């Protein structure tokens, strides 16, 4: 048995693994959606905004709002996420790196 240790960071290794598996883009997209859904739900809770009230602010149904807040729903557009962020007084910041 050898005591050789691999250098680098776990994040880099995980990214490399996902790229090798061909799942990096999909995994990253899902992670971003999960984070945004979590942040929207947290902002609603912090501001005591009910789902009914949030749906009214977005001029949509509660079932549509549930889909927006569902981290596994892939059909939510950036425009809808941006409107939801504005409804809780926030903005979405995206950048190319």
- How much is the pTM? 0.74
- Residues 8-17 have a mean pLDDT of 75
User: Which has the higher per-residue pLDDT, 58 or 11?
Assistant: 58
Q: How many CB atoms lie within 10 A of CB 76?
A: 18
Number of domain units in the chain: 1
Is residue 93 situated within a structural domain? Answer: no
- Across the range 49-53, mean pLDDT stands at 96
> In this structure, what CATH number is given to the domain that contains residue 63?
1.10.260
| Percent composition of the chain: helix, strand, coil (DSSP 3-state, to 5) | 60, 0, 40
Q: With respect to residue 3, please indicate whether it lies within any of the assigned structural domains.
A: no
95 lies in a domain? no
Q: Is the pLDDT of residue 77 over 70?
A: yes
87 HSE (CA, 13 A, CB side): 24
Domain residues for 72? 10-87
Is the per-residue pLDDT at 8 higher than 60? no
The verdict on residue 20 lying in a domain is: yes
The answer to whether residue 17 sits within a structural domain is: yes
Give dist(CA 15, CA 24) in Å, integer.
7
């Amino acid at each position: 048995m050898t005591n050789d240790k691999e250098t680098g960071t776990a994040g880099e290794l995980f990214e490399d693994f996902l790229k090798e598996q061909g799942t990096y883009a999909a995994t990253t997209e899902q992670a971003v959606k999960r984070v945004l859904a979590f942040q929207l739900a947290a902002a609603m809770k912090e501001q005591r905004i009910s789902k009914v009230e949030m749906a009214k602010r977005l001029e949509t149904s509660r079932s549509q709002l549930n889909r927006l807040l569902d981290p596994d729903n892939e059909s939510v557009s950036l425009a809808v996420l941006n409107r939801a962020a504005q409804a809780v007084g926030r903005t979405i910041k995206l950048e190319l790196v």
